[in-house]
Amino acid sequence: MSIVTARTGPGDAELVRAFAGGSERAFKELVRHYQAPLYRFIWRQVRNQSEVADLCQEVFIQVFLKAGSFRGESSFRTWLYQIAINRCRNHFRSRGRERLEDVEIEALPLVDSPANDAAEASQEARRVRAAVQALPPKQRITLELRFYQGCTFAEIAEIMICPVGTAKANYHHAIASLRKRGLEP
């Protein structure tokens, strides 16, 4: 999992203000803090390593070009993920497919795994990937945000513009669907 860790020093809102005031250091600090979780989030969306870094960079650029509209009412993180979700969606549209489910499961790359249990890990990875990708988009993204990004339901609700109860329900439905597919050890 790639939960964003708390950090000492200036908060996101303060860094965004500093960036707006001309601070390159604040810009890079924000990128440094969110680059890895954002990378993982986008990778789980597109599952194509050759495209992830570019998409990640594009999301950051879009975020900073729109930084003038950041008023600090929502967190920088929720705003970042909102833009990332929209960018991934546009990415699929530009590739002529609507979403990740349209990609052949077998065509997806394998994840890194230790050499001694590579075969087992590959099979397990495919099983997990296939099950997650079979989820409806809102459930899948909720699962990604909750399980892999460590977002609270309040944050998920903000990112996905829905009530907190809906975010919780989506997560529970996602877990229930995966259990039905027999995704357990």
| Stretch binding another protein (CB under 8 A), from 6-14, 31-39, 100-108 | 31-39
Q: How many CB atoms lie within 10 A of CB 115?
A: 6
User: Looking at 5-13, 100-108, 165-173, which segment touches another protein (CB under 8 A)?
Assistant: 165-173
Closer by beta carbon to another protein, 6 or else 172: 172
Q: Six-digit token pair at 94?
A: 């530009």
The region of 4-12, 100-108, 162-170 touching another protein under the rule CB under 8 A is 162-170
Q: Are 91 and 55 in contact (CB under 8 A)?
A: yes
CA dist 171 to 5, 85, 103, 139, Å? 22, 17, 23, 6
Residue 63 in contact with residue 81, Cβ under 8 Å? no
Check residue 159 for interaction with another protein (CB under 8 A).
yes
Out of 3, 7, 11, 28, the residue judged to bind another protein by CB under 8 A: 28
Q: Binding segment for another protein among 5-13, 100-108, 175-183 (CB under 8 A)?
A: 175-183
Collect all residues with Cβ–Cβ distance below 8 Å to 133 and sequence separation of at least 6.
100, 101, 103, 105, 140
Supply φ then ψ for residue 100, to 5 degrees. Answer: -65, -30
Q: Is 66 in the site for another protein (CB under 8 A)?
A: yes
Of 64, 74, 130, 134, the residue at the interface with another protein (CB under 8 A) is 64
Binds another protein by CB under 8 A, chosen from 12, 43, 76, 87: 43
Contact 159, 78 (CB under 8 A): yes
Tokens of 87: 């960018």
Contact between 111 and another protein per CB under 8 A: yes
* Distance (Å) of CA 83 to CA 41, 89, 111, 120: 12, 10, 25, 36
Residues that bind another protein (CB under 8 A): 1-2, 19-24, 27-29, 31-32, 35-36, 39-40, 43-44, 49, 53, 57, 60-61, 64-69, 71, 82, 85-86, 89, 109, 111-113, 121, 124-125, 127-129, 132, 137-138, 141, 143, 147-148, 159-162, 166, 170-172, 175, 178-179, 183-185
